[in-house]
Amino acid sequence: MRSGDALRLAARALAAHRFRALLTLLSVAIGAFAIVLMSSLALSGFETLKSGIEEVGGARMLLLVPKQPERAEAKARAYEAGLTEQAIGSALDGLPHVLDRTLYGSLGQREVLGDRGQGTRAHLVAGDPRFLSSMRLSLAAGRAPDEQEHREHARVCVLGDTVARALGDVEVGHSLTVGGLRCRVIGVLAKNERFGFSVGFDWNELIVIPAMTGRDWFPDMPQRTLALLVTDAPSNNDVVMRVLNARLVSVRHGIDDFQLIDFAGMLRGFYLTFVILEVIAGALAGVALVIGGIGIMNMMLVSVSERTREIGVQKALGARPGDLAAQFLGEAVLLSLAGGVGGTALGMGAARLGSLAAAHVVSSWVGLVSWGAVSAALLSSLGIGVVFGWLPARRAAALQPVEAMRR
């Protein structure tokens, strides 16, 4: 019997028991649907997180943060605590492979009062002249503080989108008070969506003031100062870290009150975590496929039992055991593949709809379909049909024609 004939016979047999076949098919479809949907949403979340990091510098980023010293702790009391602008500036000057850098103080959540009486809370950040450009923060109105305002310790500020709205759509030229500092608004930032990624402050709930102004008003700024560096390639991160570490240890007189964070390593960790989560999600969804496979085997065993006389007639007319095995195995594979294809298509559609819904909440959401999950769902469906259809096909092939016709 040719494979085409076997498939035609299998299709006719399934059509004769449409309702039973549909119920069995649905169990496989649910498994394929879950694999595609869960994996696609996980991939979309990872890519959204990654795109936010890539916008600033991605794997080329290094973050210098203050910490409690582990060595020379007694000596640390004799020197100014924290990362001062002078110390970091001298360490960063002439550093190889560095394309961009910024120094800023993350001064935490502060109470804000607008000149119209509205109040809110915001992250206060004291940044150097490169801060907005290095962080890729674009302006919706106004401008960033210029070099002269930094040198003159000017009391000016730039508001994040959420802060401006909370204060009644504050415009350029208005004044506000933040953490006791009275400042004039010279710019308002456009809305920034960087899902799941921050470097010490919220991208929209922030107020930016000049770094020197921050030093005047907030004595603890050196203990809250960070530096963000962007190298020319992730492969050069290690070189930059070693050189910068040696310079800072020298400048800080052997006091290790700082830490360097390599985003290349963080992204590798994120990717590994994503792969593990995707495998776990696929395994959990695969349970539904296995249950569907058990359903297929149960249906095919019942079918063999019900069609014993038919099998006997076919054998009496010259059908070989291999022909009968191919016919029943074909039925199982058709059932499983139909469920897999249907579930996969529904999973892809649900992933698209889920991404559209997520984009309304997070405008930067990257909606993707995991083609690896699509392939895995289809191949798993095929495998389920073969594995769980083998026993019924073997049982049908092993029936003796005379005995089968007596039943």
The residue range of the domain holding 275 is 3-54+268-406
Round to whole Å and give the CA distance between 198 and 106: 11
pLDDT in tens, the chain (407 residues): 444 554 555 555 555 556 566 767 787 888 889 888 888 888 888 888 888 888 888 889 999 888 776 665 555 555 555 566 676 777 778 888 999 989 898 898 999 998 888 889 999 999 999 999 999 999 999 999 988 999 899 999 999 999 999 988 888 888 999 988 999 999 999 988 787 778 888 888 999 999 999 988 988 887 888 889 999 999 999 999 999 888 887 777 666 767 888 988 888 888 888 888 777 877 777 777 777 777 777 676 666 665 566 656 666 656 666 666 667 677 777 788 888 898 999 999 999 999 898 888 887 788 889 888 898 888 888 888 777 777 666 666 555 555 545 55
Number of domains observed in the structure of the chain: 2
Burial class (CB in 10 A: 0-12, 13-18, 19+), 90: middle
| 241 lies in the same domain as 133 | yes
Q: Residues 69, 195: one domain? A: yes
- Cα 405 versus chain centre, distance: 61
**CA distances to 96, 165, 262 from 63, in Å:** 16, 30, 7
Please answer whether residues 225 and 84 qualify as being in contact, where contact means their C-beta atoms are separated by less than 8 angstroms: yes
On whether both 254 and 109 belong to a single domain, the answer is yes
Burial of residue 369 (number of CB atoms within 10 Å: 0-12, 13-18, 19+): buried
> Is 219 found in the same domain as 89?
yes
Q: Are residues 71 and 115 in the same domain?
A: yes
Q: Are residues 171 and 285 in the same domain?
A: no
Domain limit, last residue, from 212, 234, 259: 259
Does one domain contain both 49 and 68?
no
CB within 8 A of 47, min separation 6: which ones?
366, 368
Question: Among 209, 233, 259, where does a domain finish?
Answer: 259
Regarding whether 87 and 129 lie in a shared domain, the answer is yes
The DSSP result for 139-206, as a single string, is: EEEE----HHHHHTT--EEEE-HHHHHHTTS--TT-EEEETTEEEEEEEEEPP---TT--SSS-SSSE
By residue count, the chain amounts to 407
Q: Among the three residues 259, 285, 307, which one is the final residue of a domain in this structure?
A: 259
Please check whether residues 245 and 282 belong to one and the same domain.
no
The helix (H) or strand (E) run that includes residue 261 is strand 258-262
Q: Do 87 and 234 belong to one domain?
A: yes
Residues 170 and 84 in one domain: yes
Residues 66, 152, single domain; the answer is yes
